[in-house]
Amino acid sequence: MRDIFPVLFGERWDEARAIFYAHFAANHMKQLRPLLGAETLLKTLRARGVYLAVVSNKTGRFLREEVDELGWSDHFSRLVGAGDALFDKPATAPVKMALEPLGLTVGAQGIGHTWFVGDADIDMECAHAARCLPVLVGGGEGSDFTQFPPAFRFDNCTALCDLISLLSEPILQGACGAR
């Protein structure tokens, strides 16, 4: 929003932001639906001791409210939303913030050490920039993944969970979620 609203609304972008957030605050919980298999995936990863964080372009306050509403707060060590870091996705600043509790730095461990699971092209772009393993869940309808392709693509969280169940624990040293 802080990047596109000034372009769309010019000098009145603050007013547009206020209108958008007022509407969103009044309605976002009504539309909240977890992805198929998401809760099972989170429980599976947590049972294996995998570090989980969320990097989202949803405003941090709303992100945390939604995670609380779903009862998933205990699954995540960090919830980083839009406005929480100096820059938002696809910049790496929110990924850096998400990885801080582990003492990891963006890209230092190389691709594959940290998984970045997302459902949109901006998630894959951010994963590539942060040198995380880009994992796409869902169709990513209307998205072009030519420039930033996912390393793995799953139809839903259940399919990803099935793979996780097959992997040995040493492979899963870290996972970073996106929404």
Query: What digits encode the pLDDT tens for the residues 146-160?
Result: 999 999 999 999 999
Instruction: Show contacts of 144-149: CB within 8 Å, 24+ apart.
Output: 145/121, 148/121, 148/124, 149/124
Q: What are phi and psi of 175, to 5 degrees?
A: -145, 135
* pLDDT given at position 172: 46
Q: How many residues are recorded in the chain?
A: 179
Show Cβ contacts of residue 45 under 8 Å, excluding neighbours closer than 6 positions. 52, 75, 164, 172, 175
Query: Among 7-11, 68-72, 99-103, 138-142, which is the least confidently predicted range?
Result: 138-142
CB of 178 closer than 8 Å to CB of 89: yes
pLDDT tens, residue by residue, 69-79 = 999 999 999 99
pLDDT tens, residue by residue, 107-144 = 665 555 789 999 999 999 999 999 999 999 997 777 78
* Tokens 């092209």 sit on residue: 121
Global pTM reads: 0.83
